Chains A and B, each alone.
Chain A
Amino acid sequence: KAGVTQTPRYLIKTRGQQVTLSCSPISGHRSVSWYQQTPGQGLQFLFEYFSETQRNKGNFPGRFSGRQFSNSRSEMNVSTLELGDSALYLCASSLSAGGSWGNTIYFGEGSWLTVV
């Protein structure tokens, strides 16, 4: 079956702009999580959505937001981009919510965002 699909793969934005990233989970998966990955900070959790509701949120400013649609597809938005937002943004899907051991998460290939 198709894996987690993220679009776009690469993008360059200017400081102050906003960006929207898209994620299509594995068919049948209702949970979508978003992560930011940088060399210095590693993988940092942004938020998790399950059945269109935000279930968990990481420690990121309000400029970072997300949503999930009825078909489980998800988008995340970053407004007023800063240079420090340059990172790989990863989406992960799973059958159910949470990080319990029985709930395997599958990652997409990520969206590389460069802010100049």
Chain B
Amino acid sequence: TQLLEQSPQFLSIQEGENLTVYCNSSSVFSSLQWYRQEPGEGPVLLVTVVTGGEVKKLKRLTFQFGDARKDSSLHITAAQPGDTGLYLCAGGGTGNNRKLIWGLGTSLAVNP
């Protein structure tokens, strides 16, 4: 069974601080997606990484896919209150297994 573990589960920081959240698995994924979910809304796709070692930047957010495509990280620089939300990672299956595998998420609170 493929599992994705996200850490930390909860994170509360002050505005302006940097942070990194992690998404780890013992399984290989064809791709890895990061979503942010704000209270009362559905998750919104932030980025998809496909190639091992790939790094993508989205303004102050930096996403990295591990070389072996088993893990990923999300780094936020100078966090702002608008970054508050639940960050979810989802791994794309390989071969005939095309279901997304979801982590439980990291709940981030950025305090002004």
Contact = CB atoms under 8 A, between A and B. Distances in A.
Q: B-side binding surface: helix, strand, loop or mixed?
A: loop
Contacts of B50: 101
A22 to B, nearest CB: 15
Contacts, number: 55
Interface residues of B, number: 22
Given A42-B104, A43-B88, A45-B99, A100 B31 contact: yes
A101 B31 contact: yes
B90 A4 contact: no
A90 interface: yes
A32 to B, nearest CB: 13
B52 to A, nearest CB: 13
Nearest to B98: A98
Interface stretch (A13-21, A60-68, A70-78, A104-112): A104-112
Interface string A22-64: 0000000000000000000111110010000000100000000
Interface of B: 30-31, 33, 40-45, 48, 50, 88, 90, 92-93, 98-100, 102-105
